[in-house]
Each structure stands twice: as C-alpha cells, then as structure tokens.
Amino acid sequence: MDNKKGGDGGGKPDHDNLNGGVVVGGKWYPTMYDYLVESTAQRSSSVPATSRTVSVPHSRSTATATATAPSSVEEPEFERYDPERAINDSYEEYVREERDAAAPPKKKPKRVAPPALSAPSSSVSSSPALPRRRPTSAPQTHSVTATTPPLALLPPSVSAPTNARDAEIYSLDPDQHARRVEFRDWLERTTKGSFEEHHPRFLQYCDEVEYHPTRDVFWLPNIGFAMKQANGRNSYCKSDFPNQWRKNISDATVAFQQTPRRKEEVAAAKAKKRDETPHTHVFYIDVSSPNVGPLTVANLCDPNFGMLIYPGQWDAKNNSGYVTSRLGHMTNPRSKVFQLTADSNNHTHEVLAVRCHSLASRHKGEAYILAYGKEWNRLHLGQERFIWTRPETEIGEDGIEEEEAREKARDGIWIFQALDEEDEPHPLEGARFVDLADIPYGIKQSYIKKKVIPSLGQGYNTWKEQ
C-alpha cells in the first residue's frame, strides 16, 4: 500500500490521508499520535547516557540540545528529558496549528492613540549649574486631577461643562438645575442697592428653584444677601445656597444613608431626641393653590383667589419641636394635601404655624376653624375654599362657640388679613383658644413657605423654623 504524497522520508505527513490514518516516510500510522510516539522513542534511544538534555521550545517541535562535560567538572543540573511529555507537547502543538490554519484570519483591533498629556510648565529655566536628575528604570506616573464629573452623572439636556464652575450640578432635574444656576449668578451680581429693592425678587427666585433659606436673611453692602450662623458668623447666600444644592444630590451621601447600619443609627438618634423633646402643640394652616407663580399675601387675602385651605394641628415633638405644619402631608398619599400637591398644576404652602398653650387649645382651635370653613363652603357653593376634616374634639358642649364661628362666615369675615413684617403677629406665641378664635389671622410674606413631595422628585423641604 503506497498512498504517500510527497513521502520523501522527511517526516511530513500526507494530509490527504488524515481521515484514514497518516502516511509518513512511506509508512502508515493509524493516528498522528502513534507516529509521534514511535519517532520520539527512536530519538530518545539515540541520545548517549552521559549527556544532559535540555528541552528548547520551537515553533514546530521540541528540539534537544546536548552538552557533554568532563567527569572531573561538576555539571549543572538540567531537566531530565521526558519522552511522554515531549509527545504530548508536540501533539498539542500540531492540533493547535491545524485548527488555526482552518480558522478565518482574525482582524487586528484598531489601536487608539492615548490622549497626549501636555508637559507641565516650569517657571525655572534650565541652567548648566543645576544638576540633572538621573533617569530611573521605574516608570513615572502622571496624576491628572479631574475637574469635571463623568458625563453619565450630568442631567439630561445639560451640556458638558467647560470649567470647574460650570461643572457644579445643583439638581438632577435639568430645568431646576438651570433655574438654580440663574439664581446663583443673580446672587453673585446683586451686591448693590438695598434689601427692600431686591428682596421681592429674592423670594420669587426661592419659589422658582424650590429652595428657601433656613434662617432669616439680611442685606450686607457690597456682599448681598446673607444669613447669621449659629456661631454668630455671617453666611453668604451666594455661596451657601450652591453648597447646599450640591450636598442634596450627593450620590455618596444618599448611598451611605441607605445602609442598614446607618438607618439603625438614625432611627435610634431620632427616638432618643424625640424622648428628650417636650410636647410642642402647634396649630397650622396649609394652602394649595394653582401653580401660576409665587404665592403672595395679596393672593391669600382675596377670597376669590382659587385656593383650598387646610387647617390642622399636631404635636411637633416628632419634628424636634420645630413649629411647622405636619410632615405627613408630604409623605402620606392618603392625605388630601398630598393629593393636591402631587398635581403639577398646583403647589402647596405653609402660611401659618403657631405654638399653642396646650393640647386643648390646638384641638378646640382646629374645631373652630373647621366649623367656620364648613359654613363658608355652604354659602359659596362652586367656590368652596376649605378642606373639611373631622375635628379631634368638639368646641364645646353647648355649641355656643360653633355657632359663633358660623356667624363669622355668614358675616363674610375672611380668615386672612395682611401684616407688614414689623407688625405684631396674630395669633401670638403660646396662643390659647380665644386667640385662635379671633379671626382674621395676620399673614406676613415671611410666613409663606413652599412644601413639596420629595418622593415625586419635586425637591426637598426644610422642616425648621425660619
């Protein structure tokens, strides 16, 4: 049987016979592995016993290098030749080359040149007198400080920043971010003039960006609006506001607050503070109105202005004793105030919050206003202005106070009247029932504080006395 093709004895197999065996040097083998076993055994038997063999990797096979040394010289220890290992290595290399030859050529990936780093400028010119630093073999690394956040963190529709100032992100809502940038620039420019001249526009900006100062603001010449810190120092709104906006959207802060350990710590701290805080009896009024612009005192004093008034009372001990409206209106979907605020066509403001003398004072004060509001709605069908809820308690057993409240509604006495900032508040701090029953209530522009629903992405609230 002579099926060899180019069987010249050079050890090259006949590839036309791979399926039915391998013919090498005119001799047929069942598999290539059999041929390698026989040929390797022959090579190993021809190596002298006094030689040391070193395996040298090669592209096609394993070559051997022999070195014979005199017996008087100590010979180095080489790895002993292993015929079976050589057979396996040769066979695996053969199979790998056959597979690579049959596979389509791989496309080389395009090499992208790395961005060139500009050499740092030096203010000291080179001089022969200065010794030069000797080069080292260790690679030198250049630290590059990023001044802009990753583009993935930018809100949609916000272009990539061109400098460090533009890189600051104040809101994940692109529209709110743009308004806050405008507000920031206005605060930086507005350093001349007076408080009376710029304060109306300041309040309008606060409503537009949905952020209000946590303390009373005042005017500093050549500086602008400022607030007084707890330590007595001045805090400038043009720098304090942007800092607070950035903190509110810090991913690291949000992630940290969501860890189980941090939640337990916060809950324990709140419980401890709640136990240490005395009862704080508060009577308040929230107003939901069409979102057509900032709510003003003039709007509240107009009975024809389309609004819904919610009188309420609660123990502000759960809010660290701060005299504000109830926090649950912005978190409980079953609340009527929540439902009105969730509508983008409306916005809600706290317009009055006063500390009461006792639990009975706030309970009876709420019941009095609810009786007044219920009668007002009955007299103005189609233009109801009050959200009626069941009071915690009755005003009185004889019903005299309830009838008095209804009589004021029939007389057309409106619940609000305007007060200047320097006027005496009404009702006063520590109000009793007789004070809460004395309507109309005096409203100042500084009383009006916007409230939003954070879970719906409307922003954040400040539940502290301002």
Among 94, 109, 62, smallest CA distance to 81 is for 62
Question: pLDDT band at 171, cuts 50/70/90?
Answer: confident
Task: List beta partners, residue 226.
Answer: 218, 236
Q: What is the mean pLDDT of the chain?
A: 76
Domain count, the chain: 3
CA distance 239 to 271: 34
Say if CB 461 and CB 454 are below 8 A apart.
Answer: yes
pLDDT of residue 264: 87
Q: Are 177 and 249 in contact (CB under 8 A)?
A: no
pLDDT at residue 15 tops 70:
no
Q: 172 lies in a domain?
A: yes
pLDDT band at 464 (very low <50, low <70, confident <90, very high): confident
Query: What is the share, in percent, of the chain residues with pLDDT greater than 70?
Result: 65
Shared domain for 323 and 212, answered yes or no, is: no
Residue 77 domain flag: no
- Does one domain contain both 305 and 442? yes
3-state secondary structure of 234: strand
Residues 230 and 323 in one domain: no
What stretch of H or E contains 248?
helix 237-248
The answer to whether residues 283 and 183 belong to one domain is no
The contacts found for 208-211 with CB under 8 angstroms, 24 or more apart, are: 208/179, 208/183, 208/294, 209/176, 209/179, 209/180, 209/183, 210/176, 210/450, 210/452, 210/458, 210/459, 210/460, 211/180, 211/241, 211/244, 211/245, 211/459, 211/460
* 425: preceding bond cis by omega (within 30 degrees): no
pLDDT at 263: 82
Q: Tell me, what DSSP letter sits at residue 431?
A: B
Q: Report yes or no on 378 lying in a domain.
A: yes
- Asked whether residue 156 carries a pLDDT value surpassing 90, the answer given is no
DSSP-derived 3-state class of residue 45:
helix
The Cα 367–Cα 391 span in angstroms is 5
104 domain-assigned: no
- The pLDDT tens digits for 359-400 are 999 999 999 999 999 999 999 999 999 999 989 888 877 788
pLDDT tens-place string over residues 275-305: 888 999 999 999 999 998 899 999 999 999 9
Q: Let me know if residue 84 belongs to a domain.
A: no
Residue 73 domain flag: no
The H or E element spanning position 344 is none
Residue 75 pLDDT: 46
Mean pLDDT across the stretch 158-177?
A: 65
For residues 307 and 380, state if they share a domain.
Answer: yes
Residue 202 · residue 217 · CB < 8 Å: yes
Per the CB < 8 A criterion, the answer to whether 68 and 51 are in contact is: yes
Q: Which amino acid is at 432?
A: R
Give which of 240, 247, 197 is closest to 215, Cα–Cα: 240
109-121 pLDDT tens trace? 555 555 554 444 4
- Cβ distance 170 to 246 under 8 Å? yes
Q: Say if residue 184 is in the same domain as residue 36.
A: no
What integer is the mean pLDDT of 218-235? 89
90-94, 141-145, 203-207, 261-265: the lowest-pLDDT one = 141-145
Question: For residue 303, is it within any domain?
Answer: yes
Do residue 229 and residue 286 come from a single domain? no
Are both 321 and 223 inside the same structural domain?
no
Q: Which two tokens stand for residue 168?
A: 């600051």
Share of the chain above pLDDT 90, in %: 42
Report the distance separating Cα 57 and Cα 93, nearest Å. Answer: 11
Task: Give the total residue count for the chain.
Answer: 466
Residues 365, 417, single domain; the answer is yes
Q: What is the DSSP letter of 209?
A: H
Classified as helix, coil or strand, 391 is coil
Specify the range with the lowest mean pLDDT, choosing from 257-261, 307-311, 425-429. 257-261
The predicted pLDDT at position 72 comes to: 46
45, 60, 78 - which closes a domain: 45
Which amino acid is present at 190? T
| pLDDT higher than threshold 80 for residue 20 | no
pLDDT tens string 313-323:
999 988 888 99
Q: What is the pLDDT of residue 143?
A: 38
Q: Are residues 235 and 314 in the same domain?
A: no
pLDDT of residue 223: 92
Residue 170 is predicted with a pLDDT of 84
Please say which residue of 204, 232, 248 terminates a domain: 248
Lowest-confidence pick of 15-19, 22-26, 150-154, 178-182: 150-154
Task: Dig out the tokens for 33 from the structure.
Answer: 């592995």
What is the amino acid identity at position 429? E
Same-domain pairing of 309 and 397: yes
Q: Which H or E run contains 375?
A: helix 359-379
Residue 239 shares a structural domain with residue 283: no
Q: Greater confidence, 235 or 85?
A: 235
State which residues form the domain around 244.
Answer: 164-248
Listed residues 248, 265, 300: the one ending a domain = 248
On whether residue 398 sits in a domain, the answer given is yes
**What's the token pair of residue 294?**
């900032």
The candidate with the shortest Cα–Cα distance to 301, out of 204, 410, 380, 414, is: 414
In the predicted structure, residue 130 carries a pLDDT above the cut 50 = no
Residues 55, 40 contacting (CB under 8 angstroms): no
